């Protein structure tokens, strides 16, 4: 866990996605509010290959980053027409610049290119934009070049100003582009921006709808994905720029400030307001089509991300007086297919994904909890190694009370959400292991269909794994209890730590050794429900053993997983020196407990996942940055979970302006 500087001169080998942080804050300073750039590394900085995720800050932030490499203003430069790179839809690179100049000098048919003077191409070797060739001498000219030529689409999570204002103001720079800039979002966001921003009141109508100028075009995404598009794991993803596909889900971002009984027409729930006679009121005012980013709170079924509670479902109508408006936001899965550019010798998943949240509140406080649906979609992707990072807000430190969160997260809430995700990932890994085992069994049956097993396996493979696991556990227990203790049967050994049906027992039996360790540890009964091991009559306790030492031994026996359980104190050989017995025993117990904790961390469900914190709200007070405090609190919460036997295993990163992150 760390606060990453975000800079790497050389990206990691086989990195498939790059994310550049333009704005990591959530206010009140307006210079670094939410904004990200995402690209597939396979696109190699081609035109229209960059996806902007939110744009509270955009062009100004790109300029600030480039000012580290270029002067802000260059005086007395000869004027020439702006260079455009349309012959191969790629900005000039060190490999093609000279050939372009030669063809121009030879009277190329590309008449639109300015032959004199030729631009000086600068390709950065470090920083967030390393590898991108720039045709201008100043930071501001190169920044607008990035926006005009390389940013293809703006993917907006919700229409709040700290996620949108940069895009709106930057539309004045879109006039020299060859095609409109695309704004992609779920329908509630598109409708809100169209109605309340580009309405010739707040801002000129620069869109291509309702007689606008045409600088901006809208792409309305289907919640839960476009299921008619794609195939296999990539089904539902729609390409929004070169090499990147997107799938979006709604999440909740607080409540309408007008309180209960007030209803807006959101994009997901088609409910009319109710009059005094109990009948729907007729449509009125501009609210009919305003598409405000608010939905009526409705119950939702687990595992059904697209369920909205609209008419035609079996959900009974709610008391309209008790309904509340819930502010909508979005979470987007961003996917790039791994092609021949992936050179790892291992067998990688067919794609790489990241998950980016807009503003979101904790499900534990929400009137319409929807984040669990996103976790349910993410868990199998983490289990199979496809999803590598989650960008999620953590606006406040834990000192912020629940009543004044305003639809945001603090570290205590983010950890709870990640606990939910970890449980789902653990189940997904178990399911994946069962599927792999069934696949192996199927291949084994084919290989042995013409030969005898010579009695090596009697019954099913499940029975074999159960017997093998039972013998291992029974052997472990015989070293921890006296020889006169009652023997534990195989069924008792399994069911004691995996209560439930036989299907659950079989599922646990089929886990990999590391996952069986984690499952055993998680399913171990609490100390209040566990029998305290007692010394056997044939192995007396060494004289002088302290009561505190016996308590520590009992705690170790209760907390450690059976496969890692320490040797019972009753089985320790008696020694003449009680102090030596205490010291040696405690040292042995400490070493074994540390080994158990190391193995638990090794098999933590979120190991390998980066959680990048965005949208940190600055307090504008003296002292260390709020992000540093949030990181410390997240680390403390995760450490407490690890001490309780529930490590998450993820890496926390506090984002910052100009940071470059590779996945």
Asked if residue 508 is part of any domain, the answer here is yes
> Which range has the worst mean pLDDT, 393-407, 455-469, 612-626?
455-469
Per-residue pLDDT band at 599 (split at 50, 70, 90): low
pTM, entire model: 0.69
Among 220, 241, 276, the domain boundary falls at 220
Asked if residue 151 is part of any domain, the answer here is yes
What integer is the mean pLDDT of 106-114?
43
What integer is the mean pLDDT of 403-432?
97
Q: Above pLDDT 70, what percent of the chain?
A: 58
Give the closest residue to 44 by CA, choosing from 119, 104, 105, 123.
123
Among 553, 586, 602, the domain boundary falls at 602
Spatial separation of the C-alpha atoms in residues 453 and 254, rounded to whole Å: 62
What integer is the mean pLDDT of 594-621?
85
HSE at residue 286, side-chain half, CA atoms within 13 A, is 8
Per-residue pLDDT band at 380 (split at 50, 70, 90): very high
Per-residue pLDDT band at 437 (split at 50, 70, 90): confident
Among 220, 249, 272, the domain boundary falls at 220
Give the closest residue to 600 by CA, choosing from 506, 522, 504, 530.
522
Domain coverage including residue 542 = 459-602
HSE at residue 80, side-chain half, CA atoms within 13 A, is 16
pLDDT for res 529 = 41
Asked if residue 77 is part of any domain, the answer here is no
**In whole numbers, what is the pLDDT of the chain averaged over residues?**
73
Asked if residue 196 is part of any domain, the answer here is yes
pLDDT for res 352 = 97
Per-residue pLDDT band at 514 (split at 50, 70, 90): very low
DSSP line for 557-590? HHHS-GGGPPPPGGGSPP-S-HHHHHHHHHHHHH
pLDDT for res 440 = 81
Spatial separation of the C-alpha atoms in residues 291 and 364, rounded to whole Å: 27
Asked if residue 183 is part of any domain, the answer here is yes
Q: Are strands 387-393 and 133-134 parallel, antiparallel or unpaired?
A: unpaired
Asked if residue 358 is part of any domain, the answer here is no
Residue-wise pLDDT tens digits, 283-332? 333 333 444 444 444 433 333 333 333 333 333 343 433 456 899 999 99
Domain count, the chain: 2
Token pair recorded at residue 8: 């790497």
Asked if residue 375 is part of any domain, the answer here is no
pLDDT for res 358 = 98
Asked if residue 278 is part of any domain, the answer here is no
H/E stretch holding 513: helix 513-523
Residue-wise pLDDT tens digits, 389-406? 999 999 999 999 999 999
CB 24 within 8 A of CB 659: yes
């Amino acid at each position: 866990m760390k606060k990453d500087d975000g800079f790497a001169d050389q990206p990691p080998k086989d990195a498939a996605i790059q994310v550049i942080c333009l704005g990591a804050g959530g206010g009140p300073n307006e210079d670094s509010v939410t904004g990200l750039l995402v690209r597939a590394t396979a696109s190699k900085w081609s035109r229209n290959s960059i996806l902007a995720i939110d744009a509270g800050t955009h062009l100004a932030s790109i300029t600030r980053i480039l000012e580290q490499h270029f002067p802000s203003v260059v005086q007395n430069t000869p004027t020439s027409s702006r260079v455009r790179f349309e012959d191969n839809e790629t900005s000039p690179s060190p490999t093609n610049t000279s050939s372009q100049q030669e063809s121009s000098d030879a009277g190329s048919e590309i008449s639109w290119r300015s032959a004199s003077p030729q631009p000086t191409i600068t390709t950065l070797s470090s920083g967030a934009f390393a590898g991108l060739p720039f045709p201008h001498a100043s930071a501001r000219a190169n920044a607008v070049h990035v926006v005009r030529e390389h940013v293809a689409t703006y993917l907006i999570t919700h229409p709040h100003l700290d996620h949108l204002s940069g895009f709106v103001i930057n539309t004045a720079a879109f006039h020299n582009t060859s095609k409109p800039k695309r704004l992609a979002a779920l329908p509630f966001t598109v409708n809100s921006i169209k109605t309340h921003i580009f309405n010739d009141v707040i801002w000129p109508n620069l869109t291509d709808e309702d007689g606008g100028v045409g600088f901006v075009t809208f792409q309305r995404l289907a919640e839960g994905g476009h299921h008619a598009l794609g195939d296999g794991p990539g089904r539902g993803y729609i390409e929004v720029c070169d090499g990147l596909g997107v799938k979006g889900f709604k999440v909740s971002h607080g409540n309408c400030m007008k309180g209960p009984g007030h209803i807006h027409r959101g994009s997901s729930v088609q409910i009319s307001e109710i009059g005094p006679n109990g009948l729907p009121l007729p449509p009125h005012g501009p609210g009919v089509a305003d598409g405000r980013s608010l939905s009526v709170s409705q119950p939702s079924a687990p595992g059904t991300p697209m369920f909205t509670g609209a008419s035609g479902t079996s959900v009974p109508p709610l008391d309209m007086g008790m309904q509340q408006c819930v502010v909508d936001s979005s979470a987007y899965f961003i996917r790039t297919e791994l092609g021949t550019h992936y050179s790892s010798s291992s067998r990688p998943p067919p794609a790489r994904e990241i998950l980016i949240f807009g503003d979101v509140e904790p499900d534990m406080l929400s009137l319409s909890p929807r984040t669990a649906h996103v976790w349910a979609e993410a868990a199998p992707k983490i289990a199979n190694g496809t999803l590598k990072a989650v960008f999620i807000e953590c606006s406040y430190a834990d000192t912020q009370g629940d009543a004044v969160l305003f639809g945001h997260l603090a570290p205590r809430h983010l950890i709870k959400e990640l606990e939910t995700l970890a449980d789902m990932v653990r189940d997904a890994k178990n399911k994946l292991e069962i599927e792999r085992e069934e696949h192996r069994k199927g291949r084994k049956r084919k290989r042995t269909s013409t030969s005898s097993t010579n009695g090596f396996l009697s019954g099913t493979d499940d029975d074999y794994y159960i017997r093998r696991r039972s013998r291992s556990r029974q052997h472990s227990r015989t070293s921890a209890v006296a020889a006169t203790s009652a023997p534990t049967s195989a069924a008792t050994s399994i069911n004691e730590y995996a209560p439930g049906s036989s299907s659950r027992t079989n599922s646990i039996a089929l886990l990999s050794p590391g996952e069986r360790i984690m499952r055993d540890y998680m399913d171990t009964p609490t100390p209040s429900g566990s029998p305290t091991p007692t010394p056997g009559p044939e192995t007396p306790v060494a004289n002088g053993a302290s009561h505190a030492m016996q308590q520590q031994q009992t705690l170790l026996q209760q907390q450690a997983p059976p496969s890692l359980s320490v040797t019972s104190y009753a089985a320790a050989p008696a020694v003449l020196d009680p102090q030596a017995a205490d010291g040696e025993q405690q040292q042995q117990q400490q070493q074994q407990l540390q080994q158990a904790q190391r193995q638990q961390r090794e098999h933590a469900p979120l190991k390998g996942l980066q959680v990048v914190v965005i949208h940190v709200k600055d307090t504008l007070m003296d002292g260390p940055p709020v992000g540093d405090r949030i990181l410390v609190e997240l680390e403390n919460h995760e450490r407490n979970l690890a001490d309780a036997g529930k490590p998450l295993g993820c890496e926390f990163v506090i984002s910052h302006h100009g940071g470059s992150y590779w996945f």
